[in-house]
Amino acid sequence: MSSKSNKTVVQKYGGSSLKNITAIKKIAEKIIKNHSEGFKIIVVVSAMGKTTDQLLHQANKIIKNKSTNKHNRDIDLLLSTGEIVSATLLSMAINSRESGVTSISLTGTQAGIKTNLNHGSARISKVEISRIKKELNSNKIVIVAGFQGISQTEDITTLGRGGSDTTAVALAAALKASSCEIYTDVDGIFTADPNIVKNAKLITHLSFEEMLEMASLGAKMHPRSIELGAIYNIPISVKHSEKLNKGTIIKSGTKKMEIREVVTGIPTERKISKITINDLDDTPGVAANIFMPLANQGINVDVIVQSAGNKGKTNLSFTLSENHLNQAIELLNTSNQINSKNISSEKGLAKISIVGTGIQNQPGYAAKMFKNLADATVNIEMITTSEIRITCIIKDSDIEKAAQVLHKEFFG
Ligand code: ASP
Ligand code: MG
């Protein structure tokens, strides 16, 4: 028996790697090969191609009132079928190779994934690994339908769009796997969006904190999977499902002491809008009154800037995704704390950041970023920072220019 025989590995394949039967057969072969190298393998699959979108589209043709939540249970059960289809087909593809290796497909429920009852964005509370263990011990490859689980009330739930990544990392944590490999249709995580910056480079190593800030660069991962990876210290590698490259490894402690690359990546996000509310009373509770109703409707607010109070009045601006803008304005208009004529909004914005754990305690990086943007005549509308990130809100029409000059400055 090979020395790797004790190593448990979780592999996750995204919808783009399982888009048709030919692709599924290719993946089956690759998994059989990895198994023959001595690994215990758990495979987590997403739905094939655009299946989840198609299922949602069908549901939306029936559902009249989109704001009701009475269909949430049915929607989750419906969406969970996409992953079950790919899990079963992949298992059949493995078993029909007659390579001597067998596999078994499991739904999220059968795999022991317990969640809360938050339909559409359920969180995993526990993984009962006994079934998976039993199958692994009989030398089977275990194929698990991602993105789903079962609540205490025995209802099927889903984890939110892109949630199979989180299934994979949760299983890796529960099974104490040595690694979690996320296979996708891009090479990994890049120093900038390769669609915007042509010479963006592949990042080989990245910390969990940095990855959380870099969601938009190349492979997109479910942020909760990165949080889980950090908590349980599971190294996550992100790589192309067909190429034999190493991709990007996300893990803790990848930085070399004090000498290190300061900037790791330059993430960008487009289709951002801004709401400004003028003439607000500068009293406690005002910000809560604005943001609570938005939060209750699941509207994510990002960069928030409040001006210093002046004569008992203040102004507040915040950004949000363009597709939430109209709904947010409607909600703010119905608030009796805000005078509608003080609300204004702007579309066509974008966000650009420099990210890197080395930024903290290193003065001058913000100034360097602003100077480069100024030289490129890019106007900065808002600025916000965290320990490992400096972010500017700029016009969307400037995003290419901005990303290119900053990439040149920090990566050459
Ligand atoms: N199939 C689901 C989605 O499209 C989950 C996933 O892909 O991870 O969001
Ligand atoms: Mg995904």
Is CATH 3.30.2130.10 the classification given to domain 268-411? Answer: yes
CA of 227 from ligand 1 middle (Å) equals 18
Judge if the beta carbon of residue 188 lies within 6 A of ligand 1: no
Closest ligand 1 atom to Cα of 165: 8
The whole-angstrom separation of Cα 271 and Cα 323 is 8
Q: Which are the contacts of 394, defined by CB distance < 8 A and separation ≥ 6?
A: 349, 350, 351, 352, 373, 378, 379, 380, 381, 402
Topology of domain 8-185, per CATH? Carbamate kinase (3.40.1160)
Q: Which are the contacts of 100, defined by CB distance < 8 A and separation ≥ 6?
A: none
Closest ligand 1 atom to Cα of 14: 7
CA nearest ligand 1 atom 9, residue: 161
Region label for 154, one of left (φ > 0), alpha (ψ between -120 and 50) or beta (otherwise):
left
Quick one: which ligand is closest to 222's CA?
2
Report pLDDT for 158: 98
Judge if the beta carbon of residue 15 lies within 6 A of ligand 1: yes
Q: In Å, how far are 160, 164, 218, 274, 304 from 395, measured between CA atoms?
A: 30, 34, 22, 11, 17
- 8 A C-beta contact, residue 85 and residue 47: yes
| Positive or negative: CA dihedral 63, 66, 70, 76 | positive
CA of 44 from ligand 1 middle (Å) equals 11
- 8 A C-beta contact, residue 18 and residue 24: yes
CA of 53 from ligand 1 middle (Å) equals 9
Count of CA atoms in the C-beta half-sphere (13 A) of 394: 24
Quick one: which ligand is closest to 45's CA?
1
Judge if the beta carbon of residue 163 lies within 6 A of ligand 1: yes
Q: Which are the contacts of 65, defined by CB distance < 8 A and separation ≥ 6?
A: none
CA of 214 from ligand 2 middle (Å) equals 14
Q: What is the pLDDT along the chain (412 residues), one digit of tens a residue?
A: 444 556 999 999 999 999 999 999 999 999 999 999 999 999 999 999 999 999 999 999 999 877 678 999 999 999 999 999 999 999 999 999 988 999 999 999 999 999 999 999 999 999 999 999 999 999 999 999 999 999 999 999 999 999 999 999 999 999 999 999 999 999 999 999 999 999 999 999 999 999 999 876 777 899 999 999 999 999 999 999 999 889 999 998 755 555 556 899 999 999 999 999 999 888 888 888 899 989 888 898 999 998 888 888 899 999 999 999 999 999 999 887 788 889 999 999 999 999 998 787 777 899 999 999 999 999 999 999 888 899 999 999 999 999 999 999 999 8
CA of 47 from ligand 1 middle (Å) equals 6
- 8 A C-beta contact, residue 223 and residue 215: yes
Region label for 107, one of left (φ > 0), alpha (ψ between -120 and 50) or beta (otherwise):
beta
Judge if the beta carbon of residue 164 lies within 6 A of ligand 1: yes
Judge if the beta carbon of residue 162 lies within 6 A of ligand 1: yes
What are the tokens at 342? 């003080």
Region label for 230, one of left (φ > 0), alpha (ψ between -120 and 50) or beta (otherwise):
alpha
CATH 3.40.1160.10 domain position(s) in the chain: 8-185
CA of 52 from ligand 1 middle (Å) equals 6
Tally of CB atoms within 10 A around 118: 15
The whole-angstrom separation of Cα 16 and Cα 339 is 47
The whole-angstrom separation of Cα 316 and Cα 318 is 7
Which run of H or of E encompasses 395? strand 389-395
Judge if the beta carbon of residue 49 lies within 6 A of ligand 1: no
Quick one: which ligand is closest to 44's CA?
1
Quick one: which ligand is closest to 15's CA?
1
CA of 196 from ligand 1 middle (Å) equals 25
CA 134 to chain centre: 31
User: What distance, in Å, lies between the first and last C-alpha atoms of the chain?
Assistant: 48
CA of 398 from ligand 2 middle (Å) equals 28
CATH 3.30.2130.10 domain position(s) in the chain: 268-411
Closest ligand 1 atom to Cα of 159: 5
CA of 378 from ligand 1 middle (Å) equals 36
Q: Which are the contacts of 31, defined by CB distance < 8 A and separation ≥ 6?
A: 11, 41, 43, 90, 94, 103, 141
The whole-angstrom separation of Cα 229 and Cα 227 is 5
Decide: helix, strand or coil at residue 308. coil
Please list the helix, strand and coil fractions of the chain in percent, rounded to the nearest 5, in that order. Answer: 35, 25, 35
Judge if the beta carbon of residue 46 lies within 6 A of ligand 1: yes
Question: Which amino acid, one-letter code, is at 48?
Answer: M
CA nearest ligand 1 atom 6, residue: 162
Q: Which are the contacts of 92, defined by CB distance < 8 A and separation ≥ 6?
A: none
The whole-angstrom separation of Cα 75 and Cα 56 is 8
CA of 369 from ligand 2 middle (Å) equals 31
Judge if the beta carbon of residue 108 lies within 6 A of ligand 1: no
Closest ligand 1 atom to Cα of 47: 1
Question: Which of 76, 78, 161, 182 is the pocket-test mutation for ligand 1 (most atoms within 8 Å of CB)?
Answer: 161
DSSP 176: T
Judge if the beta carbon of residue 147 lies within 6 A of ligand 1: yes
Decide: helix, strand or coil at residue 300. coil
